[in-house]
Copies of this chain bind each other. A is one copy, B any other.
């Protein structure tokens, strides 16, 4: 099932950009009349047929549309410190998109070794993972934010949690969140959140949780939190 990302789609026709036209006609060798799928990344999945197989400006005609395709039954926001090695963070983005996530906010924490990210590049990874896993919702990735600013802004989540390893005997994440409620989970950098950061979160209504009895790397914690939240919600 070939799926293309078409955020600007409107009406019954769509012209693929030059690079996607080339991919479609030259690489995939699709022809006049062949079927493909388009998504706007906002829940619409369009079935379309090739009306002009020009390899530079392929034109497709929409045949039918599914709205809210694969709509998730709850909202998941993961705020996470990007890893020093950006590949590990990119891996997290790919896996979280496959498993299912709505919003990702990169955090700048006291112990962050990586201070900046290239949102454009990360966005491409999200688009590619969305297409690969046949989803019609593109996760939102925000600009990197200092931890304190993020904590101070208002968050509507039913379950606001901070995952860390600074103490044992924290309640398990899967017992704190409940089916159907929106979830916000904070995950720290290599070296974890500082005690001051954890306290700030606790004072702002976050609950501290444990994601696993194992010591997990940042990007593994992100994937594990994502899967746990989906599992609790029957996804």
- Using CB atoms and an 8 Å cutoff, list the residues of chain A in contact with chain B: 70, 91, 95, 98-100, 132-135, 172, 174, 212-217, 220, 223-224, 227-228, 230-231, 234-235
Are B214 and A95 interface neighbours, CB within 8 A? Answer: no
- A231–B216 alpha-carbon span in the complex (Å): 14
Given contacts A227-B224, A227-B227, are A99 and B214 in contact (CB under 8 A)?
yes
Are A95 and B212 interface neighbours, CB within 8 A? Answer: no
* Oligomer: number of copies: 2
Residues of B within 8 A of A212 (CB): 99, 227, 230, 235
Residues of B within 8 A of A230 (CB): 212, 214
Residues of B within 8 A of A231 (CB): 174, 228, 231
Q: A95-B220, A133-B217, A214-B235 are in contact. List 13 more A-B contacts (CB 8 A).
A: A95-B223, A98-B216, A99-B214, A99-B220, A132-B217, A133-B214, A172-B234, A174-B231, A212-B230, A214-B230, A224-B227, A227-B227, A231-B231
Q: Measured between C-beta atoms, what is the minimum distance from A157 to chain B in Å?
A: 21
- A100–B216 alpha-carbon span in the complex (Å): 10
Q: Measured between C-beta atoms, what is the minimum distance from A87 to chain B in Å?
A: 10
17 residue pairs A–B, Cβ–Cβ below 8 Å: A70-B213, A91-B91, A95-B223, A98-B215, A98-B216, A98-B217, A99-B212, A99-B216, A134-B215, A135-B214, A212-B235, A213-B234, A213-B235, A223-B223, A223-B227, A227-B228, A228-B231
